[in-house]
A and B are shown apart, each in its own frame.
Chain A
C-alpha cells in the first residue's frame, strides 16, 4: 500500500492552463505539505496544513491554491500556468507538528509547462 500517493505522476500542459495535482495519505497523519523541487534539485516548502488548516504559505504566488477537504487529502490547484512553474511537486505528510518527526513523501508530480 502506498503511504503518500500523488496523481498524476506526469503533467504536460500549455502556458495559461489551469491544472490540479491530488495527494492522499493513508498514514493517519495530521500534517501535510507541498514542496517544489526545481531543475537544480533544490527542495522548498510551499504550503503546510495541519488538520485541514493552512499553517504555512511560503510566499507562493496566489495562482497556487491548496485545498484540504480532510486531513488525509491535500490537493494543489494552479491557475494560469507559467513556464517557470515547471518543476517536480512533492506532497508529504508527518504525524505531528513537532520538530522530531520524519516526513513521508509522495512519488512526485513532474509538471512541464510548454
Chain B
C-alpha cells in the first residue's frame, strides 16, 4: 500500500535556527496537506499544495511541492519556541477522503 515517509523523525534546534522536514510518497500525489500538532494537542491544518512545483509561504513557513508530485517539504526560518510540535504531511486523496499521514517530524526548539 501507499507509504508516506517523513525525515527526520526528530529534530532539536536552537531558537533562531532553521528547520526543514521532508515528505516522500511511494506514489504520485494529487494534493498534499500539512498539519501541525502541538504537544498534547490535536492536528491542525496548515496548508494544501496542489500544483507541481508549487511554493507557498505563511510568515516564516515555506511549503514546497515537488515537480514530480511525489515529495514535499516544510521549511521554517528562524524557529521560535512556539514552533514546537509534530509536523505531518498528509495525502488527502485516498478513497473516502481519508488522510494518509506521513510518519511525522517532532520538532523541539531550545532557548
Contact = CB atoms under 8 A, between A and B. Distances in A.
A45 B100 CA distance: 7
B68 interface: no
A106 B44 CA distance: 10
A100 B43 contact: no
B98 A90 contact: no
A107 B104 CA distance: 18
Contact of A48 (B30, B48, B98, B100): B98
Interface residues of A, number: 28
Given A99-B30, A99-B31, A99-B93, A58 B98 contact: yes
Interface string B36-73: 01000111110010100000000000000000000000
Nearest to A105: B42
B99 A103 contact: yes
Chain B CB within 10 Å, residue with most, of A43, A104, A105: A43
B97 A98 contact: yes
B97 A94 contact: yes
B97 A31 contact: yes
Contacts of A106: 42
Nearest to A99: B93
B34 to A, nearest CB: 10
Nearest to B93: A99
Nearest to B45: A102
Contacts of B79: none
A114 B68 CA distance: 46
A94 B93 CA distance: 13
B75 to A, nearest CB: 21
B35 to A, nearest CB: 8
